Chain A
Amino acid sequence: MKVLTANRLTDGEAVWFSAGRWVESIAEAEIAYDKAAEERLEAAGKAAFANNEVVDVELIDVALAGGTVHPLRLREQIRAAGPTNRTDLGKQARTPRLAGV
C-alpha cells in the first residue's frame, strides 16, 4: 500500500497526490492498493516533476490505521506531521491529531 509524496516547488511544502492534484495533508492522499495503481501514481509524479510543480517525488509505504493513512517510516511520519519537538509548527499545528508521532 503506497501513496505518492513530494515537496512543492514554490515553497517546499510537503504534499501528497490525490486525484490529479497535490494536497497538503496525507489524510487526503490517494492510496495505491496494487501495482497498477502504483504505476499510475508514479507516472503522475513524473509528469508533475516535469511540469515543475513538485520536486523530490517518491512513492512511500503506508498502512491504514483506524481509517487514516499512516506512513511506515518515521521520516515520512515526521514529514506528514511536522517536527516532533515543535508541535506548534508544520501540519500538526493545523491538524492537532497529527502530533505525537
Chain B
Amino acid sequence: MYRYDEFDHAFVTARVAEFADQVERRLSGEITEDQFKPLRLMNGVYLQLHAYMLRIAIPYGTLNSRQMRMLAHIARTYDKGYGHFTTRQNIQFNWPKLTDIPAILTELASVEMHALQTSGNCIRNVTADHFAGAAADEVADPRPYAEILRQWSSVHPEFSYLPRKFKIAVTGAGRDRAAIQVHDIGLQLKRNASGDLGFAVWVGGGQGRTPIIAKKIRDFLPEEHLLSYVTAVMRVYNLYGRRDNKYKARIKILVHETGTEEFARQVEAEWEYLKDGELKLPDEDIRAINAYFAPPPLVSRPEGDAIVKQARLDSRGFSEWVDRNVFTHRHPDYASVTISLKGIGEAPGDASDAQMDAIADIAERHAFDELRISHEQNVILPHVARADLKAVYDALVATGLATPNAGLITDIIACPGLDYCALANARSIPVAQEISQRFASLDRQREIGELKLKISGCINACGHHHVGHIGILGVEKKGTELYQVTLGGSGDENASIGEIVGRGFAPDEITDAIETVVDTYLGLRLSPSETFLDAYRRVGATPFKEALYGTESKAA
C-alpha cells in the first residue's frame, strides 16, 4: 500500500500543528465560532447531537493492521470504545472532546492517517472497489489512480472552495462494486482495442435530495490524461456550478441543466488547453505509484481446496460463511474475505476497539497485513490463502465477527441517523436492528437470496437508500418519524434509482412493511435464482403496492 514520503509527512504534520493552533485560539476566544466552523470542518470535525464527531479518512478504504490498531486505540483512549465505518469508506468517532482532537490527529499522523477533506466543499476521500487489487474480474487495480487523485486534490488551491462537496469513485472491474454511477465523477478502468489502459468517465451522478444516475461523457480516456481531464471537469463545474442555491449546487444539477452533450463539449474544450501540459502524467510516475500497490507475494498454496472441502464437511457454520463471505480472488489459491459488521441486531458499521484489534491481528497473521473498508460498511481481508480460511473463520467466531450474511437482507447499510446526526430527521439504526432481528434466521435469508437493503435518516442519503434494492428513507412528519420505502434501486453497473412505493410507515409498521415486500417477492419470483432486483424489474411496483396498501392503491 501507499507509504508517505517526506513531503506527505511534512504536509500532514504541518496541518496538525495548524489545526492545533486553531483549536487553541478557538478555546481562548481569539476566534469566533463562525470563523472556526469552516476550519474544523476542513479537518473532519463536526458537531453532532451529543458531542463533536471526528471523521477520519481511509483513502480508497485501504489500511493496514497498524492503522487499524491506532483506530482501536483512539476508540479506547479518546472515545467510548467503538467507531462507525461509513458508506464513504471512512470511520467516524462519535464522542471526542474538541480539546483532545489535536492529540488524536497527532496520533493518526504517526500511522500516516488524517482527517483532511472529510468535510467541506472540496474533493472528498476518493473511494474505490473494496476488492481492488484482488478481484478476479479486475482489469487493473484502481487504487494507484485513486492515490494520484488524492495527492492532486489535497488542498488543491483551485478546488478547495467548490460550489459544493465533490466525490470521486474508481473501479477497476466491469462489475461495479464502487457505485461509480452515483458519484460526482465515476471512473471505470478499462483497456481499449490496443490493450492500452484508460478510463470510462462518468459525471453528474449522486444521491441526496435529487438522485441522478451519472452520464458517461467519455468512453475511453488514456490513463496519462487522468488529471488533465478531471481538472477540465472540475473547471467547468467550478465556473458554472450554482452557488446561489445549496440544493442545486452539485455537479449533477449542472450536468442535468446544461445537457450531457453540451457539458461534455465544454469539458473537451477545456481539456484541449490542458491535455498536453504539466498535468499529463509521466509514465514513470504512474509506474512509481503503482509499485506501492504491488500485490503481496502470493505463493502457491494448492492444498487450500482440500482443506476447505474437508472443513465444510466438518462445520456447517464455516460452510455457510464460505458461501456468502468469501469472494473469488484472481489467484486460484486465495480468496477475499468479507468480515461482516452486521451482526444480527447490531448497529451497521459499528466496531468495538477489541474487534478492531482482533481484525488487525487476523490481517497481520493471515492476510498480508492488508485491510479494506467497503462502502457497504464491512471490513475486507483482500488476500487470504484458501488454506487459511478456516483459521480466519475461527478467529472471527471468537470475536463475534463471523456473521455469514454478506449480500443478504441483514447486510444492511444504515447511516447514524437521529441517534447521533444533527442533520437527521429520523432514526436509522434502530430500524436496521429491528429488520435484522426479524430476518435473523439464516435459512430464511438464504432463501430470500441477494437483497441490498439501505436506510437513510434524512434526504441527504448517506445510507444510500436511493440505490437499495429496498430503500428506506426516514422523514419527520408532524413531529414523528415516518419511513418511506423505495424499491428497485441499484448502485452497480446497471444502476437505477429506487421508486417510492407509496405513503410512509410509522416506526412500528416499517419492519412489517419490509416483510410484506419480501414475502411478495418470494411469492412472485420465477425461481430462486431470480433475485429481488430482477423480479422487481420484471413485474414493476404494482404487486408490491397492492400487497402493502391493498388494491385501492391503484386509485391513489
Contacts of A14 in B (CB 8 A): 49-51
Of the candidates B51, B95, B427, B480, the one whose C-beta lies within 8 Å of that of A84 is: B427
Contacts of B20 in A (CB 8 A): none
CB-nearest residue of chain B relative to A73?
B479
Q: Is A68 in contact with chain B by the CB < 8 A criterion?
A: no
Q: Is A13 in contact with chain B by the CB < 8 A criterion?
A: yes
Contacts of B50 in A (CB 8 A): 12-14, 79, 82-83, 90
Q: Determine whether the beta carbon of A74 is less than 8 Å from that of B80.
A: no
Q: Is A9 in contact with chain B by the CB < 8 A criterion?
A: yes
Q: Determine whether the beta carbon of A10 is less than 8 Å from that of B98.
A: yes
Near A by CB (< 8 A), chain B positions 44-81 give: 47-52, 80
User: Shortest beta-carbon distance, A78 to chain B, in Å?
Assistant: 6
Q: Is A19 in contact with chain B by the CB < 8 A criterion?
A: no
Contacts of A90 in B (CB 8 A): 50
Q: Is A75 in contact with chain B by the CB < 8 A criterion?
A: yes
Q: What is the total number of residues of chain B having a CB less than 8 Å from a CB of chain A? A: 29
Most-contacted residue by chain A among B27, B29, B50, B80 (CB, 10 A): B50
CB-nearest residue of chain A relative to B53?
A12
The docked-state distance in angstroms from the alpha carbon of A74 to that of B29 is: 33
Q: Determine whether the beta carbon of B49 is less than 8 Å from that of A11.
A: no
Most-contacted residue by chain B among A10, A14, A85 (CB, 10 A): A85
The stretch of A27-35, A36-44, A49-57 in contact with B is A49-57
Of the candidates B29, B33, B48, B52, the one whose C-beta lies within 8 Å of that of A11 is: B52
Q: Is A72 in contact with chain B by the CB < 8 A criterion?
A: yes
Q: Determine whether the beta carbon of B52 is less than 8 Å from that of A85.
A: no
Q: Given A84-B419, A89-B80, check contact A11 B26 (CB 8 Å).
A: no
Q: Given A11-B97, A12-B47, A12-B52, check contact A52 B26 (CB 8 Å).
A: yes
The docked-state distance in angstroms from the alpha carbon of A90 to that of B48 is: 13
Q: Given A78-B418, A79-B50, check contact A11 B481 (CB 8 Å).
A: no
Q: Determine whether the beta carbon of A10 is less than 8 Å from that of B49.
A: no
Q: Is B367 in contact with chain A by the CB < 8 A criterion?
A: no
Near B by CB (< 8 A), chain A positions 58-94 give: 72-75, 78-79, 82-86, 89-90
Q: Is B429 in contact with chain A by the CB < 8 A criterion?
A: yes
Interface residues of A (CB under 8 A from B): 7, 9-14, 49, 51-52, 55-56, 72-75, 78-79, 82-86, 89-90
Q: What are 23 sample pairs from A and B whose C-beta atoms fall under 8 A apart?
A: A7-B51, A9-B26, A9-B33, A10-B99, A11-B51, A11-B52, A11-B98, A12-B50, A12-B97, A13-B51, A51-B29, A55-B33, A55-B47, A72-B479, A73-B479, A78-B49, A78-B418, A78-B427, A84-B430, A85-B347, A85-B433, A86-B419, A89-B80
